[in-house]
Amino acid sequence: MLTLPASRVAAVQTAPVFLDPAATADKACALIAEAARNGARLVAFPEVFIAGYPYWNWILSPIEGSPWFERLYRSAIDLDGPEVQRLCETAREHDCVVVIGVNERDPVAIGTIYNTNLVISSGGELLCRHRKLVPTWAEKLTWTGGDGSTLKVHQTKVGPLGTLACGENTNTLARFALLAQGELVHVANYISLPVGPKDYNMAEAIRIRSAAHAFEGKLFTVVSCSTISAEMVDALTETRPDARELLSRTQSAFSGVIGPDGAVIGDPLIDEEGIVYADIDLNRCIQPKQMHDILGHYNRFDIFNLTVNTASRSSATFVDVPGAGFGASVTFVDDRGDAGSARDPDRQSADGAAAGQSRTTGGRHDEH
């Protein structure tokens, strides 16, 4: 008989050690140990917890914020670096699944940063990195978007788990792509955002989005949000004197756990630092599907179709052409739409002369 996992989960609401990846990794490991002592088998951390969010994009001009971008880039981490190794060791030591946001440096392109969520198994294996698909609003000054290769659900000790970062939890298609892979535990991580429009309640917006996904998918959503520390405010005040006022609005952070009925389990954390715990039982995801199963009887896939491109994106594709010979490096299309390769000039002239060819390349008529 089928029995689904039941687990205690933990959502952390706290601030990183600003732009200090080593110290923030140490803080994360201490919080994993604390949560594990309290019985947690999953520990969720905020968006880009290692080691900070680019708040300067919201309160400074792009030119004023440019030095901060360089500082963030230098503090971003490599996936094979010591911070990730430490996190994996701690997850294994405490038998916990860990989801944590990081600023990830591109391994090749200098200056390229991704907003990345890491999923680490209870055995200490890095299961995946999910790169935020679309940076939100002012974030486009900092991060490059990810691709569909990281939009995946992973089998973990607490159940089939997927994750999205902050605003992409509003992306209906991204959420459905995870549901279609059997997601039953969703980790949604956020940053505290006191610098949005005056009528924007970030805490309520987080709750609404998280409840929507939980209710639509009949699953559990674990929400982890950051806070803004005095250290961060003091640092930004050096460039923007009124930063303290701009970064102090309340109702800017929400962390908690939401069940398949869309209701918050227990008491969430709003603005305050701490860890939220909840006991989740995935068997509770079964009965609600009888009413609304958007992956089955409550959908029409003869009408609707979602295609997800899971190919890894790269900035260039390099192709070897077998047998092309020396100098075969440029593909051209002549006036008739016929494709060929530009080859060694001497060979091209000789071949053209022998065949008596005439071709047009780039609007120029060449006689051979």
Which residues belong to the active site?
47, 132, 166
Residues in Cβ contact with 259 at an 8 Å cutoff, skipping those fewer than 6 apart:
214, 220, 265, 280, 284
Question: What's the rounded Cα separation, in Å, for the pair 218 and 5?
Answer: 15
Residue 228 buriedness (CB in 10 A; 0-12 / 13-18 / 19+):
buried
Question: What's the rounded Cα separation, in Å, for the pair 117 and 30?
Answer: 19
Single-letter amino acid code for the residue at 102: V
Q: Among all chains, which residue has been given the structure tokens 């939980």? A: 214
Residues in Cβ contact with 361 at an 8 Å cutoff, skipping those fewer than 6 apart:
332, 334, 342
Rg (CA), the chain: 25
Helices 172-179 and 202-217, packing angle to 10 deg:
40
Residues in Cβ contact with 17 at an 8 Å cutoff, skipping those fewer than 6 apart:
23, 24, 27, 51, 231
- Decide if 156 contacts 181 (C-beta within 8 A): no
* Residue 206: HSE in the Cβ half-sphere, 13 Å Cα cutoff: 35
SS3 97: strand
Q: What are the structure tokens assigned to 120, written together?
A: 């680490």
Question: What's the rounded Cα separation, in Å, for the pair 310 and 313?
Answer: 9
Residue 266 buriedness (CB in 10 A; 0-12 / 13-18 / 19+):
exposed
Single-letter amino acid code for the residue at 364: R
